[in-house]
Amino acid sequence: MSNILIIKHGSLGDIAQASGAIQDISENHKNDQIFLLTTKPYFDLFKKNPFIHGVILDKRLPRYNLIYLYFLMRELKKHNFSKVFDLQNSSRTNFYKNILFPKADKIVWSSSITTLPSDRNKEEFDKTSVLERFDYQLQESGLNTSYTLKPDFSWASTDISEIKNFYKLDKYILLFPFCSPHLTIKKWPYYNDLIKKISNKYGNSYKIVTAPGPTEIKDAKEINAIALLDNGRALDISQLTSLIKGSSCVIANDTGPAHITAHTGTKGFTLFGKHTTAYKVSIERENFKAIEVTDLNNLSAEKVFERLINLL
């Protein structure tokens, strides 16, 4: 039996996407112990993942914090990992490689760098979709991949019956009208217009709900929907996943909850402006699609509403 390390720091959408790759690594190492190095927001979450035996916390303090770096490297070295799968593929994780396994090839340290053939350009490779890059990396590392291209994030869900009973939720449409303050280009501005159209057509047949994150609770007051909280706090990732799975439909900006929706088999769609493409971030699935436009300000509530009617 050997110890295998997977590195995946975040963000939320990235965590959902990596679920299939993590499952494939586990399936290819059934007799080994699988550990995962991640950051604080996902530390407790990954303890629930059925394909991981142990979770190691990386606080991601500055690299010049030599004391922290020393203790982190000591923690990793004591597990005597025989192989590392770097699913983060960042400059930071490549820095870790240079400390832990400076001369390792793809047999010991699997990353987008070590698995890239000499005749391929990394800039061109990075233009392919996230899941295709994961799949290529794992196959080049000698793994059979069955789940990487179709990740299932359902393992993250939990029982939220008390929350649903409190808000008297039965049939509901779930909206995610928020985005990071520095990524306002992702934000569609007409959610309240859409809500009015939904209410006019469906009346009380569907409740219209949103689930703001910790920094979005104030912004949620500007949306004419029920803002779901757990005793005044934002739902955690497991609660959010369950809320998404139980919805009739999800409409979201290109954010973490959209990726959770895509990778739990839930019906819905996401709204994309020119910041990237649905293909590159691997968000479209059988039940979850994207509306892509060059400018979200020019995407009308009527057009989004028509797509919603077709789903319901």
142-148-152-157 Cα dihedral, nearest 10 degrees: 60
Q: pLDDT band for 307, please (50, 70, 90 cuts).
A: very high
Spell out a b/e string for 117-137, using b for 16 or more CB atoms within 10 Å of the CB, else e.
eeeeeeeebeeebbbebbbbb
Predicted local confidence at residue 124, as pLDDT: 78
Q: Is the pLDDT of residue 53 over 90?
A: yes
Rounded distance between C-alpha atoms, residue 169 and residue 95, angstroms: 48
Q: How many CB atoms lie within 10 A of CB 65?
A: 12
Predicted local confidence at residue 10, as pLDDT: 85
Rounded distance between C-alpha atoms, residue 284 and residue 290, angstroms: 6
Q: Is the pLDDT of residue 180 over 90?
A: no
Q: What is each CA distance from 63 to 78, 154, 274, in whole angstroms?
A: 20, 34, 34
Per domain, the residue ranges of the chain are: 3-152, 162-311
Q: Is the pLDDT of residue 65 over 90?
A: yes
Helix extents (H) in 177-274? 191-202, 217-220, 237-245, 256-262
Sign of CA dihedral 150, 151, 155, 157: negative
Three-state SS for 311? helix
Contact between 110 and 137 (Cβ < 8 Å): yes
Q: What is each CA distance from 198 to 183, 212, 304, in whole angstroms?
A: 27, 20, 11
Rounded distance between C-alpha atoms, residue 74 and residue 279, angstroms: 39
160: Cβ contacts below 8 Å, ≥ 6 apart: 235, 239, 242, 243, 246
Please, what's the largest Cα pairwise distance for the chain? 64
Average pLDDT over residues 88-115: 94
**Across all residues in the chain, what is the average pLDDT?**
95
Q: Are strands 268-272 and 288-292 parallel, antiparallel or unpaired?
A: parallel
Contact between 174 and 235 (Cβ < 8 Å): no
Q: Is the pLDDT of residue 120 over 90?
A: no
Strand partners, 189: none
CATH topology of domain 3-152: Rossmann fold (3.40.50)
**Residues 224-237 pLDDT 10s:** 999 999 999 999 99
Predicted local confidence at residue 88, as pLDDT: 96
Check whether the bond before 11 is cis (ω within 30° of 0). yes
Q: Are strands 172-176 and 207-210 parallel, antiparallel or unpaired?
A: parallel
Rounded distance between C-alpha atoms, residue 109 and residue 84, angstroms: 5
Predicted local confidence at residue 117, as pLDDT: 78
Contact between 152 and 131 (Cβ < 8 Å): no
pTM for the whole thing? 0.93
Q: Which CATH superfamily is domain 162-311 in?
A: Glycogen Phosphorylase B; (3.40.50.2000)
